[in-house]
Structure 1
Amino acid sequence: MVNPSIRAVLSRIRKIVFGVGENDGLVFKAVVYLLLIGIGFIYLYPLLYMFVNSFMSLDDLVNSMVKWIPTELYTENYTKALQVLDFNKTLLQTILVASVPAVAQTVMSAVIGYGFARFDFPLKRLWFVLMIATFVIPPQVTMIPTYLMFKDYHLLGTLQTFIYPALLGQGLKGALFIMIFYQFFKKLPAVLEEAAQIDGAGYFKMFYRIAVPTAGPAFIIVFLFSFVWYWNESYLAALYFGNSLTILPLELQRFSDSYSKMFPPGTPGSQLNEAIKMAGTMLTIAPLLVVYFLLQRWFVEGVDRTGITGE
């Protein structure tokens, strides 16, 4: 027979290793952490690769012995990338292009979502279906008619091509953001608005005094997603802005041509290499990374409460 003390020790070891009840064992935790580390590495590997290579000199790039640790911290790549991107000017324009329409779209999506959630009006379901259809229809279908309309109204080359659709609830992914606010406001207890009406509050006051404070996570997530999508929208920016405005992703697409004009072939140190391109890419995504790290807590909370799992 097994000694009772030994049996107790084995039972305790089994509980620690495999867990019992609601307590997870070491094996389960190890498997979960290994999966998380593996998935995290898949997403972080391109970013780490770009960051390391952006600090490599040309000698390190052609040296097969140098993989992850450069022989020296070579910052000339960033100096050239800053010049090619005209970083300070382009960054300010990118922030303007991304933030103004994002703010307009966030506000108008909240108003439209509140209207669909709290009011009944003629043909409400039809309007709701049409609103969803704007999200389902590919943007390539409406791109040319929209371009011609902006041309007729002499709006091409201005930020109004992004602002006006946002003010009308038709900005980038506008239907998705309206649905997010609709989901929040639909859950708002009607007794709160009834009590406010008894106190003499009108619809506008009920909106900004009762509805808006409860939808804080929705405002955060809608603004952040809208900001990121406008930041990365290089195709429509090139189509509507022409040479009047530019953004960092658009300048990154033109990086090779701009570099050739600024550093003509044949001049010393003018050869464009992978490290310089990586430096330009890091400069393009760095502001978004800063925004994410500053607003990470609210970002995760907003994603969790709105149900957005990936876009």
Structure 2
Amino acid sequence: MNNSGSAMKHHKKPIISPLRYPGGKASLYTRLREIVRANDLTSGTYVEPYAGGAGAALGLLVTGQVRRIVINDLDPAIFAFWKAIATEPLAMTQMLNEVDITVAEWSRQKDNYLNAARDDYLTLGFATFFLNRTNRSGVLNGGPIGGMDQSGKYKIDARFNRDTLTERIRLIALHASRISVLNTDGMAVIKRYSKRDNTLIYADPPYFEKAGSLYLNSFQDSHHSELASCLNKVSDSKWLLTYDNVPRVAELYAQRRREVFSLNYSAHRVVKANEIMVFSDTLAVA
């Protein structure tokens, strides 16, 4: 195991995802690009079983580092957002450019988020997007930036730049035919795609210590153990995994190569945390 703890290079990372996602891994773009190239997967498929903001996946796709990406998220609201972006980008763009960025509209979108039909991807997906861009730290179950009375330093529209978000959706729409969006259990996705050639799986599951505040779908300890069993059984496939650097990870992946790295988080306050990356046996590590 490499315990150097050195910071990875994050320069020139493309920012494509329209979502603000605490703990998102878009900053790992450079390292993931190196791994894709080292494993000769530039014509292959990149899979995120726990996609969330999908920042790394979209960066790799839009810059031509991989041919296809698979975005999976078990949360129906996040899935609805990605489904709407992939299938109805013009409608999503029109909605983001016409919506009022007010507390009254926030309340209406919150109701849509809680009550829209799960298969009404446009309504649920836009509500998810609206709350993500207007809530503190992008956390969907949080409150609006500036508070309900808008007495805070920053106001509800502080993270809702219409032109920037329109451009990001336009870029994604250009590549939509090469994006698969799924709404299933992450381990099912791993089992499915680990059998395929020319495929890289990047698992970024809910973490041990940050799960409660950063993720919509948290893991119990049994889930972490089941995921480890799933990945260890396909150690001859090409995959990597990131986690918070806690002793349990070393126990679950004792037979796999591991490397510590640092990453900045921006949920509530900017902090630098040591995390750990785990590699399958056949993955060439750049």
**TM > 0.5:** no
Name the structure with the higher helix share: 1
Calculate the TM-score normalised by the size of structure 1: 0.27
> Which structure has the larger Rg?
1
More RCO (CA 8 Å, sep 6+): 1
Name the structure with the higher strand share: 2
